[in-house]
């Protein structure tokens, strides 16, 4: 028969309430008692019923991850990072893909929160950067943590995980200028993602600091997709004076640019250098492998979930303790796609 919380309490020699406190990771339990209860849980292979816990304590032990992102690698890394932190804290994870452009998106999110009795949400771009969505969530009083692109220290507001895309983009562009590239193109991601603007600003700043005048024709509007990289690179490489380097707003775009270069018989890196951003599998599965900015998506997701759970516990304790923001700066990873080219001028 399946073990119950009473069985765990009997084996550990403690009250049912103490077992509940251990399961819920409450700080009031002594370390020795916690070890004794955990040993009983392990021996009996006891699995807490999250629905029963929610009803018994009038509190939810589930959080949701709401996203609108076509990049499967990003989504999987996010899910794995959040799930790992949930499992470590006795929470369940509800995954909810959506279309952020829908007019009734906030109603959809609210319904999901009520239906799944969620304690809070992890939001990634573009939802995490949509003011009207955040205002509605504030109005109903739900806890949430945002993952957003930001280059400055923030002092107020609900806890966020900030990614310094601008500085990482600056480093990639500076790397290309150090290789004496003068005509460097940039293929953007979706304009409704703040990361696109931040990465573009980093690109522009690095060109300016290197004394290179930006040619507006070398900035191509795109989306965070392989197809956008193909079309953008075809446009750039068809110019009378094509660029010697392309900086794509993410690795998927960069992989598309590399594909287009091969279709047009342009050697990479011999005639063209290509760099991406994020260090997802696209950057390592191409040949040559792509120079990029390593963004630890799983760790970012884990930190976001940890921050959210701390905020939830703080509210429940009534101490209103401010949970600090988290900050990440992707690191430059130089690979074969940006070795010195023949035509850098």
Higher-scoring residue by pLDDT: 63, 26: 63
Distances in whole angstroms, Cα of residue 109 to Cα of each of 64, 79, 140, 143, 217? 10, 18, 11, 13, 40
Residue 16's pLDDT band (boundaries 50, 70, 90)? confident
Q: DSSP 3-state helix, strand, coil percentages of the chain (rounded to 5)?
A: 50, 15, 35
Contact by Cβ (8 Å): 220, 232: yes
Give yes or no for residue 156 having a pLDDT over 70: no
Q: Is the pLDDT of residue 86 over 90?
A: yes
Map out the domains of the chain as residue ranges: 5-48, 60-164+296-331, 165-294+332-338
Q: What is the CATH number of domain 165-294+332-338?
A: 3.40.50.2300
Interval 178-227: pLDDT, tens: 999 999 999 999 998 999 999 999 999 999 999 999 999 999 999 999 99
Tell me the whole-structure pTM to 2 decimals.
0.80
Task: Out of 3.40.50.720, 3.40.50.2300, 3.40.190.10, 3.40.50.1110, select the CATH number for domain 60-164+296-331.
Answer: 3.40.50.2300
Name the range with the highest mean pLDDT among 4-13, 28-37, 180-189, 313-322.
Answer: 180-189
């Amino acid at each position: 028969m399946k073990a119950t919380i009473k069985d765990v309490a009997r084996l550990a020699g403690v009250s049912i309430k103490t077992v509940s406190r251990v399961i819920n990771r409450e700080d009031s339990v002594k370390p020795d008692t916690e070890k004794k209860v955990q040993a009983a849980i392990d021996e009996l292979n006891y699995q807490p019923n999250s629905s029963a816990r929610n009803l018994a304590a009038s509190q939810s032990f589930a959080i949701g991850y709401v996203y609108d992102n076509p990049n499967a690698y990003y989504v999987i890394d996010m899910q794995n990072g959040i799930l790992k932190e949930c499992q470590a804290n006795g929470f369940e994870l509800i995954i909810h893909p959506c279309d952020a452009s829908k007019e009734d998106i906030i109603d959809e999110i609210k319904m999901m929160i009520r239906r799944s009795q969620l304690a809070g949400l992890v939001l990634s771009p573009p939802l995490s950067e949509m003011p009207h969505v955040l205002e509605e969530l504030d109005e109903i009083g739900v806890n949430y943590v945002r993952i957003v692109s930001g280059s400055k220290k923030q002092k107020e507001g609900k806890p966020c995980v900030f990614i310094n895309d601008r500085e990482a983009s600056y480093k990639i562009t500076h790397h290309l200028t150090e290789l004496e590239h003068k005509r460097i193109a940039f293929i953007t991601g979706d304009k409704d993602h703040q990361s696109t603007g931040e990465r573009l600003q980093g690109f522009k700043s690095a060109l300016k600091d290197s004394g290179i005048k930006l040619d507006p024709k070398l900035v191509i509007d795109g989306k965070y997709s392989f197809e956008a990289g193909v079309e953008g690179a075809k446009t750039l490489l068809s110019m009378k004076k094509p660029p010697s380097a392309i900086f794509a707003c993410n690795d998927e775009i960069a992989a598309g640019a590399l594909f287009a270069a091969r279709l047009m018989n342009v050697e990479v890196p011999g005639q063209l250098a290509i760099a991406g951003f994020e260090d997802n599998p696209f950057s390592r599965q191409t040949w040559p492998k792509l120079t990029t900015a390593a963004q630890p998506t799983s760790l970012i997701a884990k930190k976001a979930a940890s921050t959210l759970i701390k905020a939830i516990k703080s509210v429940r304790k009534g101490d209103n303790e401010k949970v600090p923001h988290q900050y990440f700066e992707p690191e430059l990873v130089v690979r074969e796609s940006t070795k010195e080219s023949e035509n850098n001028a």
